[in-house]
Amino acid sequence: MNLLPQQLSLVPARKYTFLLFIFLLGPALGLFGCGSSSGPQEATPDFVRLDQYNIDTSSVALDKSFIVNWHAAFSSPSSIYTFEWHVSPQSSTSSDTTVLTLNCGPATQPCSNTGEAFCDYKNNAGGLPSVICSLSGKVVGQKIIPSPGKYVATGRACIFNSKLETICDGKDVDLTFD
């Protein structure tokens, strides 16, 4: 192939123009074609919220059953929250009030975002009145009730956030043990 001198000078210019087009405009076109975002992606903030918490009765007699229900919304690095249920006399500052503590989340059983514990108020093996709770037929917690009367039953949902701090949300209901 015989090229005239004027034609030879056009070949490199076309080649470089095409390469310049590829290197400068190609990435921009590629990003827009893939749906680029206008800024950096923000992570979902860590939070926990106990949306629902209730007990199906406000007064429980010995040898009777009741149900504790809850629903938690949360976002955490571990995808797990802890549901705690505490019972304490209304006039007490007792530190040992825990009846049950459960790790819950989308991949855990028997509780996920929603839970339901079946509890009995009865005498335990030692003859002391106790609350004994189970999920799916398995005992998951129990607490001796020292005397009949008015109690505060607290439900709490807790997570560890990205900074490994504990964040909780809780609700109280009144519960009378007869």
Residues 63 and 105 in one domain: yes
Residues 117 and 136 in one domain: yes
pTM value is 0.70
Written as six digits, the tokens of 54 are: 């209730």
Residues 97 and 133 in one domain: yes
Residues 18 and 79 in one domain: no
Which residues have CB under 8 Å from 75's CB, separation 6+? 44, 45, 46, 47
Using one digit for the tens of pLDDT, what is the confidence trace for 147-159? 899 999 999 999 9
User: Domain of 151?
Assistant: 47-177
Residues 168 and 121 in one domain: yes
Q: What does the pLDDT read at residue 125? A: 82
Residues 4 and 51 in one domain: no
Q: Write the CATH number for 78.
A: 2.60.40
The domain boundary residue, chosen from 42, 59, 75:
42
Give the pLDDT band (50/70/90) at residue 107: confident
Residues 125 and 171 in one domain: yes
Instruction: List Cα–Cα distances, 85 to 13, 24, 142, in angstroms.
Output: 77, 61, 10
Number of folded domains in the chain? 2
Residues 108 and 86 in one domain: yes
Give the pLDDT band (50/70/90) at residue 173: very high
Residues 72 and 134 in one domain: yes
Residue 19 has pLDDT above 70, yes or no: no
Tell me the C-alpha distance between 68 and 134, whole Å: 10
Residues 79 and 137 in one domain: yes
Residues 85 and 165 in one domain: yes
Tell me the C-alpha distance between 86 and 92, whole Å: 13
Residues 37 and 60 in one domain: no
Which residues have CB under 8 Å from 143's CB, separation 6+? 87, 97, 98, 99, 130, 131
Q: What does the pLDDT read at residue 120? A: 96
Among residues 168, 176, 130, the alpha carbon closest in space to that of 152 is found at 176
Partners of 157 in beta bridges: 83, 169
170 touches 156 (CB < 8 A)? yes
